[in-house]
Amino acid sequence: MIVSASYRSDIPAFYGAWFRRRLAEGTVRVANPYGGRPYEVALRAPGCDGFVFWTRNLAPFRAALAEVAGLCLPFAVHITITGYPRALEASVTDADRSVAQMRWLAETYGPRATVWRYDPVLLTSLTPPAWHRETFARLAEALSGATDEVVLSFAQIYAKTRTNLTRAAQRHGFTWTDPPNGAKQALLGELAGIAAGQGMTATLCSQPDLPVSGLAPARCIDAQRLSDIAGRPVGAKTKGNRPGCLCAESRDIGAYDTCPHGCTYCYAVRRPELAKKNHRAHAPDVPMLYPPTGTAAEFPAKGEHP
């Protein structure tokens, strides 16, 4: 089984000590946020075939990556770098530092171990289409050679996303919009062209309603990528979690409402203050990252990834 760590939270940025303890033990206990009993997930072979990590700050996780590599388990790291203003992303790592982290990852473990995420694409008065074109081009040039893929998607406006965005807009004095599909497709097409010019394939995460020429569906949990990294087959059937998702089957070990980055558009956090509270209450020596705090109706099965 492939282990995802995690599209529910940023484990590398905030919970590296917990992960390393669980890795040493060989298993982790996971609360099922959609009901049902907690379950255990293996973090070592033969029950674990590899890892996909998701983060906005890889620096605290370098020792953990070395330990995973020492177990001869393949891993790929999705690093989200958008360069958004602080009004939208209150406390994420500076984009230039994130670029340096991705380049370090590629130099240390190879460019197949890195995936850049420029998502979600959010249109606001602070980040209009021209801003995205300019920022994306600058980041793509800085990341050229460090990765072969960039994952795109437009922000999914869930009820809690709308609430958090509206609160932030009132606080910081900006406006936001969820544009029609045609406008989304036009911008996505431009970004895909910029990526191609820097030697990257642009893919689209779980948005089949936004077909764009030259923009293939993403496989964020990618068994073939892990196979290439491992130098041996990593078998996993395709088992997407929502329409258009082509991810391989995996088990996610994170928990919702635990990422304190403070991104206004985040689908995995109902209220930023709740995530900060849960992060402060976390104990790194427990087998479960955090008990479930929501209900199935409050969280998507899988949206844009943190």
88-127 as b/e, with b when 16 or more CB fall inside 10 Å? bbeebbebeebbbbbbebbeebebbbbbbbbbbbbbbebb
Between CA 205 and CA 13 the distance in angstroms is 22
For residue 104, give the H/E element and its range. Answer: helix 95-109
Using one digit for the tens of pLDDT, what is the confidence trace for 4-44? 999 999 999 999 999 999 999 999 999 887 777 889 999 99
User: Where exactly are the structural domains of the chain?
Assistant: 2-298
Q: List % helix, strand, coil for the chain (3-state, nearest 5).
A: 35, 20, 45
164-178 residue pLDDT tens: 999 999 999 999 999
Residue 133, Cα to own-chain centre: how many angstroms? 21
Task: Give the helix/strand (H/E) hosting 119.
Answer: strand 114-121
Report the distance separating Cα 247 and Cα 237, nearest Å: 9
User: What letters, b where the CB count within 10 A reaches 16 and e where it falls short, cover 188-221?
Assistant: bbbbbebbeebebbbbbbbbeebebeebeebbbb
Distance in angstroms (rounded) separating the CA atoms of residues 222 and 36? 27
User: Could you tell me which residues come within 8 angstroms of residue 106 by beta carbon, excluding any fewer than 6 positions away?
Assistant: 113, 114, 145, 146, 147
- The confidence score (pLDDT) of residue 293 equals 53
Q: SS3 for 305?
A: coil
pLDDT at 292: 57
CA dist 214 to 180, 188, 190, 209, Å?
20, 10, 10, 15
pLDDT score, position 256: 92
* Alpha-carbon distance values, 29 to 32, 39, 217, 222, 224 (Å): 10, 6, 31, 23, 27
Residues 241-261 pLDDT 10s: 777 889 999 999 999 999 999
Q: How far is CA 148 from the centre of its chain?
A: 16
Q: Partners of 181 in the beta sheet?
A: none
Run means of pLDDT, 10 residues per run, the chain, 306 residues: 96 98 97 82 97 98 98 98 96 96 98 97 98 98 98 94 95 97 98 97 95 93 97 87 86 95 93 93 91 49 39
pTM flag (> 0.85): yes
Beta bridge partners of 216: 203
Which candidate, 115, 99, 197, 123, places its Cα nearest to that of 151? 115
Written as six digits, the tokens of 305 are: 């990834």
Q: What are the residues facing 159 on neighbouring strands?
A: none
Phi-psi category of residue 114: left, alpha or beta, with phi > 0 → left and psi -120 to 50 → alpha: beta
